[in-house]
Amino acid sequence: MSDKQVTLYELKERMATFVRERDWQQFHSPKNLSMSIAIEAAELMEHFQWLTVEQSQQLEPKALQEIGEELADIVLYSLSLANYLQIDLAETIHAKMDKNERKYPKEKVRGKAHKYTYYQQQEEGA
Amino acid sequence: MSDKQVTLYELKERMATFVRERDWQQFHSPKNLSMSIAIEAAELMEHFQWLTVEQSQQLEPKALQEIGEELADIVLYSLSLANYLQIDLAETIHAKMDKNERKYPKEKVRGKAHKYTYYQQQEEGA
Amino acid sequence: MSDKQVTLYELKERMATFVRERDWQQFHSPKNLSMSIAIEAAELMEHFQWLTVEQSQQLEPKALQEIGEELADIVLYSLSLANYLQIDLAETIHAKMDKNERKYPKEKVRGKAHKYTYYQQQEEGA
Amino acid sequence: MSDKQVTLYELKERMATFVRERDWQQFHSPKNLSMSIAIEAAELMEHFQWLTVEQSQQLEPKALQEIGEELADIVLYSLSLANYLQIDLAETIHAKMDKNERKYPKEKVRGKAHKYTYYQQQEEGA
C-alpha cells in the first residue's frame, strides 16, 4: 500500500467508489471541485503562513501529520476531478513534465528560480 | 504510461530528478511549495470562474486540455512536497480515505453535501 | 462608522496600530501577507463550495454574518500589505478602475462574462 | 483621490456602476465573486512565490506597481461582494477589529505569531 505499489488508477477507483456510494457526483462538478482543491491548498498553506522558509523545513511530527492529511485532500480532489473529466492523470503528468523539461533546460536555469529566470529573460530580450 | 500502470513512486522520482538537475531544492521548501500548489489551484479555478455549475460539466476540448495541464501542475507540486517531507503519499491517501469513510457513513450522508450535512447535524445537536 | 463616513486611511491606521502594538510587523512581510489574504479568501469560498450559483444568492443570516467576517479579514490583510508597501490604495483602485473601463468598453461587453468575451475575441482574431 | 479622502462608499459606488453598466450582476454572484477574490489573491502570491521573506521586503518599482494592481483587484471584488450582499464593510471591519483586539491582547501576544501563540496555548492548556 506504499507509493512503490499503488497506481493512480487504484486511488482514482477508491475515490470514485466513495463519491458514488454517497451519491455525491452531483456536488463534484468541475467548478465545485476546483474550489475544493483551492480550499484544501489554503489549509495546507495555513501551516506555513507565519514560518520563515527555514522554519518550514524543520517541522514537528504533529505538524507533519496534519500536513500529510491536507496533501492527501488536495490529491484526492484532484483525482476526483480527473475521474469526472475522464483525464488520464499519469499520461497528462508525463506530458507536462516533457514540456517542463523543454521549457526549463537544466543547463540554462540551474540554481535560478523560475521567476528570476523569467525576469532575466525579459531584460535580455528588451 | 497510463493511470493503470504508473505508480506514485515513478511520478515522484521523475519530479525529484527534474528538481535536482536544476538545483531547485533551495526554492522547493515546504512554505514555497504550499504557495505553488495554491497558485496552480487558482489557475485551475480560473477556467470555471464565470461558468455555471452546469456549464462546467460541458467543456470544449481546448479548455479540457488546459485544465488537464493545471491539474498536472497541482499534482506535481504535491509530489514535490511529498518528496521534500518524505511522505508516502499512497499510504497517507489510503489512511485519509479510511478516515473519510468513517466520518461520512454512506447511509447517513447519501445525496447531501458535506456542508449541508454539517449544518443539519448542528441543528439536530442544538 | 459606516461606509459613507469611513476613509481607507482610517482603516489602515487602525490596522497599523493593531500590528505595531503586538510587534507583528516582523510577521507581516509582503510574502506572508499575500499568503494570509489567499487563506482568508479560501475561508470565504468555503461558504459557497457546495452551493449552486443560485443558492449562493439566498444566504441565511448566520452564513451572512460569517461571510462578512471573512470579507473583513481579506480587506484587513490587504490594508496591512498596503501599509507595509506604502501603497495609496484609493489611488491605486481608481487607477485600476480607469484601466478596466478602457479594457472592457460597456457597449462591447454588456452581458458577456470576461472570459467569454476573451475567447470570442480570440476566435474573431484568429 | 487619496486614502485620506476616499470613503469605502465611493469605491463601492464606482464598482457598482461599472458592474451595472456592463450587465455583469448575473456573473457577480457571491459564489463566483468568492472565486474571483481567491484567484486575484493567488496572482498576488505569484510575485512572492520564490522569494525569501526578506527579499519580499525589498521590491523593485515594476514589481511594486504590479502588486498594487493585484491588491486593487482583490479589494474591488471584495467591494463588489459587499455590494451584492448589502454588507456595510466599514462597520464589519471595525467590529472584526474589536473582536481581534479582545482575542489577541497586546500584552499576551506581543512578538509572537498567531499560530505560535495558538500552539503554545494548546500546550499550556493540555
Residue of D32, D35, D45 with shortest CB distance to B39: D45
Q: Is the pLDDT of residue A123 over 50?
A: no
Tell me how many residue pairs between chain B and chain C have CB atoms under 8 A apart: 21
Average pLDDT, chain A: 90
Q: What is the mean pLDDT of residues A81-100?
A: 97
Residue A79 is given by DSSP the state H
pLDDT over 70 (residue B117): no
Query: Looking at beta carbons, which residues of chain C come within 8 Å of B43?
Result: none
Task: Please name the residues between 9 and 68 in chain D that touch chain A, using a CB distance below 8 Å.
Answer: 35, 38, 42, 46, 49-53
Confidence at A114, pLDDT banded by 50, 70, 90: low
Residue B87's pLDDT is 97
Cβ distance C46 to A39 less than 8 Å, yes or no, reads: yes
pLDDT for the residue numbered A72: 98
Question: Could you report the predicted ipTM of this complex, rounded to two decimals?
Answer: 0.91
pLDDT of residue D114: 65
| Residue D115 in this model has a pLDDT that exceeds 80 | no
| Helix ranges (DSSP H) in C1-113 | 8-21, 30-46, 61-85, 89-103, 106-109
Instruction: Give the range among A39-53, A67-81, A86-100, D106-120 with minimum mean pLDDT.
Output: D106-120
Higher pLDDT, D125 or D8: D8
In the predicted structure, residue D81 carries a pLDDT above the cut 70:
yes
Give the mean pLDDT of D98-106.
95
**Does the pLDDT of residue B42 top 70, yes or no?**
yes
Residues from chain A contacting residue C36 (CB–CB below 8 Å): 49
Q: Which residue of D has its CA nearest to A49?
A: D115
Closest to B116 (Cα-Cα) out of A77, C117, C50, A36: C50
Angle at D56 between CA D52 and CA D61, to 5 degrees: 140
- Cβ of D53 within 8 Å of Cβ of A53? The answer is yes
Determine the Cα angle at C22 with ends C18 and C28, to 5°: 80
Nearest alpha carbon to residue D92 among D84, D102, D101, D82: D82
Q: Residue C11: what pLDDT?
A: 97
What one-letter code names the amino acid at C89?
L
Mean pLDDT in residue range A61-83: 97
Of D42, D50, D113, the CB nearest to A113: D50
Q: Is C86 left (phi over 0), alpha (psi -120 to 50) or beta?
A: left
Touching partners of D (3+ C-beta pairs < 8 Å): A, B, C
Q: Is the pLDDT of residue D113 over 90?
A: no
Average pLDDT score, chain C = 90
Lowest-pLDDT choice from A49-63, D3-17, D31-45: A49-63
Per-residue confidence (pLDDT) for residue A112, from 0 to 100? 85
Cβ neighbours of residue C37 closer than 8 Å, sequence gap 6 or more: C74, C77, C78, C81, D41, D44, D45, D74
Asked if residue C100 has pLDDT above 80, the reply is yes
Mean pLDDT of C96-109: 94
**Which residue type does D82 have?**
A
pLDDT value of residue D54: 87
> Interior CA angle at D114 toward D112 and D120, to 5°?
70
> What does the pLDDT read at residue A53?
86
Tell whether the model's pLDDT for residue C88 goes beyond 90. yes
> What is the C-alpha to C-alpha distance for residues C89 and C9, in angstroms, rounded to an integer?
9
Instruction: Please indicate whether, in this complex, the C-beta atoms of B56 and A29 are within 8 angstroms of each other.
Output: yes
Distance between CA atoms of C113 and D24, rounded to whole angstroms?
Answer: 7
Using a CB-CB distance cutoff of 8 angstroms, which residues of chain B are in contact with residue A25? none
Residue A63, Cα to own-chain centre: how many angstroms?
19
Element (H, E) at A106: helix A106-109
Rounded-to-integer distance, Cα B89 and Cα B69, Å: 21
pLDDT band at B54 (very low <50, low <70, confident <90, very high): confident
Share of chain C above pLDDT 70, in %: 90
pLDDT band at C120 (very low <50, low <70, confident <90, very high): very low
* CA distances, D123 to each of A50, D50, D52, D119 (Å): 19, 33, 30, 6
pLDDT of residue D125: 43
Among A53, C16, A84, A37, which Cα is nearest to D38's?
A: A37
Contact status, residue A31 vs residue B56, Cβ threshold 8 Å: yes
Mean pLDDT value of segment A42-61 = 93
- Lowest-pLDDT range, B85-99, B104-118, C95-109? B104-118
Q: What percentage of chain C reaches a pLDDT higher than 90?
A: 81
Given a contact cutoff of 8 angstroms between Cβ atoms, the answer to whether A34 and B47 are in contact is yes
**Nearest residue, CB atoms, C115 vs list B50, B115, B116:** B50
Residue B35 pLDDT > 60, yes or no? yes
Which pLDDT score, from 0 to 100, does residue D1 have? 80
Query: Distance between alpha carbon D19 and the CA centroid of its chain, in Å?
Result: 20
Which pairs from C7-11 meet CB under 8 Å and 24+ separation?
C7/C90, C7/D3, C7/D4, C7/D5, C7/D6, C7/D7, C7/D8, C8/C79, C8/C89, C8/C90, C8/D3, C8/D6, C8/D7, C8/D8, C8/D11, C9/D2, C9/D3, C9/D4, C11/C75, C11/C76, C11/C79, C11/D8, C11/D90, C11/D93
Q: Does the beta-carbon distance from B27 to D50 stay under 8 Å?
A: yes
- For D7, phi then psi, to 5°, come to -90, 160
If you average pLDDT over residues D84-106, what whole number do you get? 96
Residue A108: CB partners within 8 Å, gap ≥ 6?
A: A117
CB A7 within 8 A of CB B13: no
End-to-end CA distance of chain A: 52
Nearest CA in chain B to D44: B39
pLDDT reading at C116 higher than 60: no
| Per-residue pLDDT tens over the stretch D5-36 | 999 999 999 999 999 999 999 999 999 999 99
pLDDT band at D121 (very low <50, low <70, confident <90, very high): very low
Mean pLDDT of A46-75: 94
The dihedral built from the CA positions of residue C27, C30, C32 and C34, taken in this order, carries a sign that is positive
Residues of chain D neighbouring A35 (CB-CB closer than 8 A): 35
Rounded Cα distance, D84 and D80, in Å: 6
Where does chain B show beta strands of DSSP type E? none
Residue bearing the bigger pLDDT, A4 or A117: A4
Lowest-confidence region among A32-46, A109-123, D15-29, D55-69: A109-123
DSSP for C33-64 reads HHHHHHHHHHHHHHTTTTS-TTGGGS--HHHH
Q: In which band, very low, low, confident or very high, does the pLDDT at B121 lie, cut at 50, 70 and 90? A: very low
pLDDT in the model for residue D74: 98
DSSP 3-state of B7: strand
Cβ–Cβ of A113/D53 closer than 8 Å? no
